[in-house]
Amino acid sequence: AQKITQTQPGMFVQEKEAVTLDCTYDTSDPSYGLFWYKQPSSGEMIFLIYQGSYDQQNATEGRYSLNFQKARKSANLVISASQLGDSAMYFCAMRVPDDCGSRLTFGEGTQLTVNP
């Protein structure tokens, strides 16, 4: 069975600083995809970044980067230069195998608060 663990229920960061949100995963399948979604207080789910298990380089999307450490089974999200608008719930998710028809398994989320 696949499992995603987010151990930080809440995180605080000062505006303009970087923050790392932790995510560890568990699967024995060599093919998997890892995702991060943002959910602001308005409730919608916003896709941020994707990392495939066979990707050689860490994924980056603007201020978001994914610190992918395969041996440690971790896929931490790094947000650089935090903004007040980054305050939201963040979910890590995994699909196994890494096929767009595979089911997504979500972690329980981390609530990020950016302080001015």
CB-nearer residue toward another protein: 82 or 109? 109
Interior/surface letters 36-68, b for 16+ CB within 10 angstroms, e for the rest:
bbbeeeeeeeeebbbbebeeeeebeeeebbbbb
Give the 3-state secondary structure of residue 26.
strand
Short-list 11, 8, 3, 1, CA closest to 114? 11
The single residue among 23, 35, 75, 86 that binds another protein, judged by CB under 8 A, is: 35
When asked if residue 108 is in the footprint of another protein (CB under 8 A), the reply is yes
Check: CB of residue 44 under 8 Å from CB of residue 33: no
Among 15, 29, 45, 81, which residue sits at the site for another protein (rule: CB under 8 A)? 45
Question: Which residue type does 29 have?
Answer: D
The residues in 2-31 that bind another protein, with binding defined as CB under 8 A, are: none
Q: Find the shortest distance in angstroms from Cβ 35 to another protein.
A: 6
* d(C-alpha 95, C-alpha 74), whole Å: 14
Chosen residue from 66, 75, 94, 109 binding another protein by CB under 8 A = 109
Q: Which one of residues 41, 72, 100, 116 is an interface residue with another protein (CB under 8 A)?
A: 100
> For binding to another protein (CB under 8 A), which residues are involved?
35, 37, 43-45, 47, 50, 91, 93, 100-101, 103-109
